[in-house]
């Protein structure tokens, strides 16, 4: 963990660099890797083709970021991380927001420890590739 879902209305695909948005979002959450592990980051772009935003005007758009994290961080650390992501996403989408109706939201959830099962070998491969574990690039 952390797992990141970036949901967005498909009417943004022609004007927004979606891979850049994903990278910006992940980098903002991971920061220097001291609170959230780079090797645990899994970020997904989720295009939403069927949506109704406010009055249904076709220009209305949204980006919603869901951050799911493991338990064990202080409220201050969680708030700082979620705020960092929110500001980074707002900055990334500032031009888009200035030119069309756009809603941006960020939500952080903690996964239930007793119902959270996981395994990965990402750290091994980062080491093989010569990428420091605490690097968010």
Dihedral sign, Cα of residue 92, residue 81, residue 118, residue 116: negative
pLDDT over 80 at 118, yes or no = no
User: What distance in Å separates the CA atoms of residue 42 and residue 103, rounded to the nearest whole number?
Assistant: 23
Task: DSSP letter for 111, please.
Answer: P
pLDDT over 90 at 132, yes or no = no
Binning pLDDT at 50, 70 and 90, where does residue 133 land? low
Binning pLDDT at 50, 70 and 90, where does residue 129 land? confident
Binning pLDDT at 50, 70 and 90, where does residue 39 land? confident
The more confident residue out of 93 and 116 is 93
Q: Token pair for residue 36?
A: 């959230």
User: What distance in Å separates the CA atoms of residue 123 and residue 129, rounded to the nearest whole number?
Assistant: 10
Binning pLDDT at 50, 70 and 90, where does residue 134 land? low
| CATH number of this structure's domain 3-129 | 3.30.429.10
Q: What is the pLDDT of residues 68-92, one digit of tens each?
A: 999 999 999 999 999 999 999 999 9
Q: Token pair for residue 72?
A: 């064990």
User: What distance in Å separates the CA atoms of residue 86 and residue 81, rounded to the nearest whole number?
Assistant: 9
pLDDT over 90 at 45, yes or no = yes
User: Contact at 8 Å (CB) between 55 and 97?
Assistant: no
In DSSP notation, 23-59 reads HHHHHHHHTTSSSS-GGG-EEEEEEE-S---TT--TT
- Provide the pLDDT for residue 137: 46
DSSP-based three-state secondary structure for 78: helix
- Provide the pLDDT for residue 136: 47
User: What distance in Å separates the CA atoms of residue 31 and residue 28, rounded to the nearest whole number?
Assistant: 5
Q: What is the mean pLDDT of residues 100-112?
A: 95
Q: What is the mean pLDDT of residues 92-108?
A: 98
């Amino acid at each position: 963990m952390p797992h990141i879902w970036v949901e967005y209305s498909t009417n943004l695909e022609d004007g927004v660099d979606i891979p850049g948005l994903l990278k910006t979002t992940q980098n903002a959450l991971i920061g220097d890797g001291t609170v959230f592990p780079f090797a645990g980051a899994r970020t997904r772009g989720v295009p939403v083709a069927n949506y109704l935003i406010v009055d249904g005007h076709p220009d209305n758009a949204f980006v919603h970021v869901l951050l799911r994290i493991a338990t064990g961080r202080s409220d201050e650390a969680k708030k700082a991380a979620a705020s960092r992501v929110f500001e980074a996403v707002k900055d990334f989408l500032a031009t888009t927001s200035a030119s069309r109706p756009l809603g941006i939201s960020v939500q952080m959830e903690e996964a239930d420890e007793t119902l959270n099962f996981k395994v990965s070998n990402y750290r091994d491969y980062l080491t093989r590739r010569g990428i420091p574990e605490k690097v968010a690039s």
